[in-house]
Chain A
Amino acid sequence: MLSEEDKPGWKTIPIAGILLEPGSAMKYKTGDWRAFRPIIDQDKCINCLLCWIYCPDAAITRLEKFVDVDYDYCKGCGICANECPVKAITMVEEKR
Chain B
Amino acid sequence: MSKIMGLTGDGAIAYAVKQSSVDVVAAYPITPQTLIVEEFSEFVHNGEVHTEFVCVESEHSAMSACVGASLTGARVFTATASQGLALMHEIMYIASSLRCPIVMGVVNRALSAPINIHCDHSDMMGSRDCGWIQIYGENAQEAYDWVVQAFKIAEDPSVLLPVTMNIDGFILSHSLEGVEVLDDEDVKRFVTTRKPVLRVDPDKPITVGALCLTDYYFETKRQQFEALEETTKVIDRVNKEYKILTGRRYGFVDSYGLEDAEAAILCLGSTAGTAKTVAGELRSQGKKVGVIKPWVYRPFPREEIMKALGGLKALAVLDRSCSFGAPYGALCSDVVGMLYQNGKELNVFNVIYGLGGRDMTPFDIEAIFNEALEVAETGLVKEPLKFIGVRE
Which residues from chain A sit less than 8 Å from chain B, CB to CB? 7-11, 13-20, 22, 24
Contact = CB atoms under 8 A, between A and B. Distances in A.
Nearest to A19: B207
B212 interface: yes
B1 interface: no
B207 A18 contact: yes
A93 to B, nearest CB: 26
B223 A11 contact: yes
Interface string B190-218: 00000000100000011111101001110
A15 B217 CA distance: 12
A17 B220 contact: yes
21 contacts: A7-B216, A10-B219, A10-B222, A13-B219, A15-B160, A16-B98, A16-B99, A16-B220, A17-B97, A17-B98, A17-B210, A17-B212, A17-B216, A17-B217, A17-B220, A18-B98, A18-B206, A19-B207, A19-B210, A22-B206, A24-B207
A15 B227 contact: yes
A15 B223 contact: yes
A16 B200 CA distance: 13
Contacts of A20: 198, 206
B226 interface: yes
Contacts of B160: 15
Contacts of B212: 17
A13 B226 CA distance: 13
A17 B215 CA distance: 12
B99 A15 contact: yes
A15 B226 CA distance: 11
Nearest to B94: A16
Contacts of B224: 16
Contacts of B216: 7, 13, 17
A18 B199 CA distance: 10
B219 A18 contact: no
Identify the interface centre among A9, A16, A20: most chain B CB within 10 Å of its CB: A16
Identify the interface centre among A8, A11, A19, A22: most chain B CB within 10 Å of its CB: A19
Interface in B40-88: none
A4 to B, nearest CB: 8
What are the 9 closest A-B residue pairs judged by CB atoms, nearest first?
A: A19-B207, A10-B222, A10-B219, A10-B223, A22-B205, A16-B99, A17-B220, A16-B98, A17-B212
A11 B227 CA distance: 11
A14 B209 CA distance: 12
Contact of B215 (A7, A11, A18, A24): A7
Contacts of A13: 216, 219-220, 223
Given A10-B219, A13-B216, A18 B226 contact: no
